[in-house]
Amino acid sequence: MGSVRARAAAGATAVVALALIAAGTAVLLVLRGNLQDQAGLQAEVAAREVAAQIATGTAYPKLDLPDGEDHPVVVTDDDGRVLAAGEDVRAVDGRPVKGGPAAGDAGAAGTGRSGDGDDDDGDDDRGGPRPGEVDDDVRYRDGTADVDGTVAAYRFAAVEAEDGRGEKAVVRAGSALAPERAAVGSVRTAMLIGLPLLLVVVAGVTWLVTRRALRPVEGIRSEMAAITASTDLSRRVPVPSSRDEIGRLARTTNETLAALETSVERQRRFVADASHELRSPIASLRTQLEVGVAHPELLDVPGAVADTVRLQRLAADLLLLARLDAGERPAAARVDLAALVREELSQRAGDRIPATAGELAGVEVAGSRGQLGRVLGNLLDNAQRHAAGEVRVAVVREGEWAVLRVEDDGSGVPEADRERIFERFVRLDDARARDDGGAGLGLAIARDVAVRHGGTLAVRDRAVFELRLPAAG
C-alpha cells in the first residue's frame, strides 16, 4: 500500500477488528457462564424443594414434582434405583426412567427404602445430611433428558436428603439450556452481522479523517515541488492554523527555506564580490604586461609583482572561505597560543609598527595551528592598518576560556559597525585604496575560523579584538 491513508485505514481496521473479536469472545463467554449459572440456580431451587419434601417425611408417590418439560426431576437411592420421577420424564442421559414411583418396589411405597443395617451414627460418619435434613452441598453437571419423546439439553443439580428414618435419597433436577443457547446464538449472530458493518464504518471514517489530516501535507508537498521547479527560494509553504506535528513541519520547512535562501543569496553575493575583486588585479597585471611587451623599458616590475602577490593572497582567501563554507572541520591538534604569538611576532619584525607582546599565559586550545595562525595574522594586519603608533598582543586564561587580544591605538571601530566589519568584502573606509585596505576578507575569515573552533571573535571597547576559544583539557 503506497498511500498513507490506505495504510492508516487498514491498520485502524485491523486493530478494531482484533479488539472487537476479543471483546465479543469475552462477552459470549461471560454471557454463557452467567446463563449457565442461572440455569444451575433454577435447577438447585427445584431440587431443594423436592429434597425438603423428602426430609419432612413425604412419601415418594405423594411428592409434588415440577413440570417435567421445564424441570425434569429424578429421585434415586444410594444404589441408583429410581424412587420417583417427574411427569413425562422418560430418560436422563440416555438411561430409561420408569414413570411414577418405583412400582414393584415395596420399599418405594413408603417413606423410604428398607433399612440396610446402618444407623444414624453411621450416616453422620459418612459426612452426609442428618435425619430430616437436606445436604448443603450441590453437584452440577450438564446432560440430556427425554421428556415426552423430546430430548433436550439441561443443567442438572443433585442434592442429597435424608428422611426422619435415616433413609437417604438423591434428588436430581434439571433446568433447560435451550434459552441460554438461544440467547448466546442470538448475540453471536448479531456480532457476526454487526462486526463487518462496524469495520466498514471504521475504515471509512479513518480514510476520511486521515485525508483531512494529511491535506496540509499535500499542500506542503505541492508547494515544495513548485519551489523546486521555479528555483524561487523566496516562496514559503502554507502553515496550517493547528499546533500539531504538521504545523511544526510546515514552520520547520519554512525555516529551512529561509536558511537556504540566505545561504544561496550569500553565495551569490560572494561570487559577485569575488569576481569584482579579482577583476581589478588581473586587469592591472594584464595592462602592465601588455605595456611591457610593447615598451620593455616602461615595464613596472615591482608593480606587477605586487599585483601578483595581491592576486595570490585573494585566491588563497577565497579558497579558504570555500573550504569553511563546505563545512571543513579543523584538526584536533593542541596549539599553545603563547607560542603561536611569539612565532608570529618574530616573523613580523619589519612591520610598519612592530607589535609588542603583553601577558602571554601558557594556555592550549584544540584546533588547526595553520588556521589559528591565519586568524592571528589577519588581526595583526588589521591593527597595523589602523594603529597610530602601537600594537599589543596578549594571551590570558579566563576560567574555561583561552582569550587572545589584539589592541591598537587607532581611532577604533564605531559601535554601529562592530558586527558589520565581520561581513565579507566590507571596508569601513571606502576612500581607502584597495592596495592598502585589502579585499575586506581578513576579519570575515578570522570569525569563521573562530566559530569552527567553537569560539567567538568580537570587538571589545573601540580598538580591542578579542578571540575566545575553549581551553584544551
- If you average pLDDT over each of 208-217, 233-242, 388-397, which comes out highest? 388-397
Backbone angles phi, psi at 84, to 5 degrees: -160, 155
Contact 189, 28 (CB under 8 A): no
- If you average pLDDT over each of 33-37, 293-297, 392-396, 460-464, which comes out highest? 392-396
3-state secondary structure 376-437: HHHHHHHHHHHCCCCEEEEEEEECCEEEEEEEECCCCCCHHHCCHHHCCCCCCCCCCCHHHH
- The pTM of the full predicted model, rounded to 2 decimals, is 0.51
| Higher per-residue pLDDT: 455 or 284 | 455
pLDDT, mean over the chain: 82
Tell me the mean pLDDT in the region 434-440: 57
pLDDT digits (tens, 9 = 90+) for 148-207: 888 889 999 999 988 877 788 899 998 888 888 888 899 999 988 988 999 899 888 888
Q: What is the pLDDT of residue 441?
A: 83
Please report which helix (H) or strand (E) contains residue 156, including its range: strand 150-162
| pLDDT category of residue 430 using cuts at 50, 70 and 90 | very low
Question: Taking 90 as the threshold, does the pLDDT of residue 131 lie above it?
Answer: no
Establish how many alpha carbons lie within 13 A of residue 336's alpha carbon, considering only the half-sphere containing its beta carbon. Answer: 7
Contact 168, 78 (CB under 8 A): yes
pLDDT digits (tens, 9 = 90+) for 42-81: 989 988 998 898 888 888 888 888 876 778 999 988 888 8
Nearest to 396 by CA among 357, 368, 443, 349: 357
| pLDDT category of residue 41 using cuts at 50, 70 and 90 | very high
Question: Taking 50 as the threshold, does the pLDDT of residue 105 lie above it?
Answer: no
Contact 13, 157 (CB under 8 A): no
- Which class does domain 330-470 fall in? alpha beta
- At the second CATH level, the architecture of 233-328 is Orthogonal Bundle (1.10)
| Per-domain residue ranges of the chain | 22-182, 233-328, 330-470
* Fold agreement (233-328, 330-470): no
| pLDDT category of residue 106 using cuts at 50, 70 and 90 | very low
C-alpha 282/C-alpha 278 separation (Å) is: 6
Of the ranges 110-124, 136-150, 242-256, which one carries the lowest mean pLDDT score?
110-124
Q: What percent of the chain stands above pLDDT 90?
A: 21
| Higher per-residue pLDDT: 326 or 232 | 232
| Residue indicated by cell numbers 420417583 | 84
Question: Taking 60 as the threshold, does the pLDDT of residue 435 lie above it?
Answer: no
pLDDT digits (tens, 9 = 90+) for 174-184: 888 888 888 88
